[in-house]
Structure 1
Amino acid sequence: MNAHSTELAPEAGRLEAAQLAALIGSRLCHDIVSPLGAIGNGLELLQISDQFPGLAKSPELQLIAESVEAARIRIKWFRMAFGHVAADQRLACNELSALFREIERGGRLRITLDCTGDLPRTEARMILLALMCVETAMPWGGQVQIARTATGWRLQAEASRTRQMPVLWAWLDGTHGPSVAEPPPAEVHFPLLAAFARDHGREISWSVGENRAELAF
């Protein structure tokens, strides 16, 4: 190999695919948050400007402001659920509660968290992925209670109706079978939660009924 070769040497370090995916997720979320923040600041300046009377109360500007805020919240959720997490990182329960309050403002779920102290960021990531699974089952909205129990975490949700998709939920306990097609990108949280559970030695249990859903790990 000459001095100008771009090939990796055999002893060069390599990252696993999951690590690369998490780092890419963190990078994307980080880079998107900045322009969203700039757009939000610009909207605030327009709302307080006296050069555009009535603009602040216009339905068009309100729609843009609501969309920017919803996108900001979603990316914050994605960054914590899909991004890179160090093994020793921890998250305060009140920080997680604050994120849930933001998620409530931008969606149809109403979330209650029963937790004190702090928790590993790896567990917070699994909780957020589990919440995405519940959201998939309840696209019309519902009530979700999240509690730390003696054996782990439990999410219990109720709604007027649910969307039952057993093929997706089967990813969580490995009963999907080798011939089942991969899930669409919008539902990647199902196999991802299953993969994290395997990596951390956690077992997942779940059930979905006509107006309820439960997930525990």
Structure 2
Amino acid sequence: MTVDTTRIAAGDLAALLGSRLCHDLVSPLGAIGNGVELLEMSPDFPGLAQSPELRLIAEAVGAARARIQAYRMAFGMAQGEQRIGMAELARLLDGMAGQGRLTITLDADGDFSRPQIRMLILAVMCMESAMPWGGRVIVLRDGQRWRLVAECDRSKIDPAVWGWLDGIQSRPLTPSEVHFALLAEASRAENCTLHHEFDDTGGEIAF
């Protein structure tokens, strides 16, 4: 029997697409950011650096670049031999927190495999979905186990969406919920067991 080596698994194909999209978007955003910095330093436009309009552009570009870095980690290819250090992980989490209402605190040491960090970023996205009005997340590394502990004043929980983490697919996901399916798939690929619970004032995801 001939094996077709030209075919790519559906999950790998989606990850390749995610990597390609993120890569192609980073360059133009970087160019815009560089242009803003040049305007800020230019003597031809005194006071422009402090203008609210330029500040708004700079903040928007910074937020978009940070989000794309998170998307690259969550939706791109994740090879097991790649390692992510503490500094890079802290930057990723700071970028995610800086764009919304979440406060994220990291309590971990060492460096970690890319698939682990992919799962971690996807889990943070699940927390974001549960806390659209904001909250606090502590990311803990305990031995070989990751725990994300959340607190909030109020949450928004859809059991049908969270059921995907348990393999219960009671309804299709929307594009804004795709990280739940991706986290479940990533946990199966890494042979990890996911634990999760959430109520009105917070919860936890562990793997």
Q: 2:180 aligns with which of 190, 197, 200?
A: 190
Which string of whole-angstrom CA distances, capped at 9 and with x for unpartnered residues, describes residues 180-200 of structure 1?
2x2111110000100111122
* Alignment partners' CA distance in 2, 1:12 and 1:157: 44
**8 Å contact from structure 1 (residues 170, 176) kept in 2:** yes
Q: What amino acid is aligned across from residue 115 of structure 1 in structure 2?
A: A
Q: Map of 1:54-203 to 2, 5 A cutoff?
A: 54-150=47-143, 152-177=145-170, 180=171, 182-203=172-193
Q: 2:20 aligns with which of 27, 45, 59?
A: 27
Q: What amino acid is aligned across from residue 193 of structure 2 in structure 1?
A: E
Determine whether 1:51 maps to 2:44: yes
Aligned-partner SS, 2:55: helix
Q: 2:11 aligns with which of 4, 18, 26?
A: 18
* Alignment partners' CA distance in 2, 1:129 and 1:103: 11
Aligned-partner SS, 1:135: helix
The runs of 5 or more residues in structure 1 that have no matched partner are 1-8
Q: CA deviation at 1:151?
A: 5.5
Aligned-partner SS, 1:213: strand
* Alignment partners' CA distance in 1, 2:103 and 2:137: 6
Larger CA deviation: 200-209 vs 34-43: 200-209
**8 Å contact from structure 1 (residues 137, 213) kept in 2:** no
* Alignment partners' CA distance in 1, 2:4 and 2:166: 37
Q: What amino acid is aligned across from residue 186 of structure 1 in structure 2?
A: S
**8 Å contact from structure 2 (residues 165, 194) kept in 1:** yes
| Distance verdict in 2 for CA 1:124–1:52, change over 3 Å | same
The runs of 5 or more residues in structure 2 that have no matched partner are none
Q: CA deviation at 1:98?
A: 2.5
Aligned-partner SS, 2:205: strand
TM-score normalised by the chain length of structure 2? 0.93
CA RMSD of aligned residues (A): 1.6
| Distance verdict in 2 for CA 1:140–1:15, change over 3 Å | same
Q: Which residue of 2 aligns with 1:3?
A: none
Report the number of matched residues: 206
Q: CA deviation at 1:18?
A: 0.6
**8 Å contact from structure 1 (residues 206, 216) kept in 2:** yes
Based on CA coordinates, which of the two structures has the bigger radius of gyration?
Answer: 1
**8 Å contact from structure 1 (residues 111, 146) kept in 2:** yes
* Alignment partners' CA distance in 1, 2:63 and 2:204: 26
Q: CA deviation at 1:94?
A: 2.9
**8 Å contact from structure 1 (residues 168, 183) kept in 2:** yes
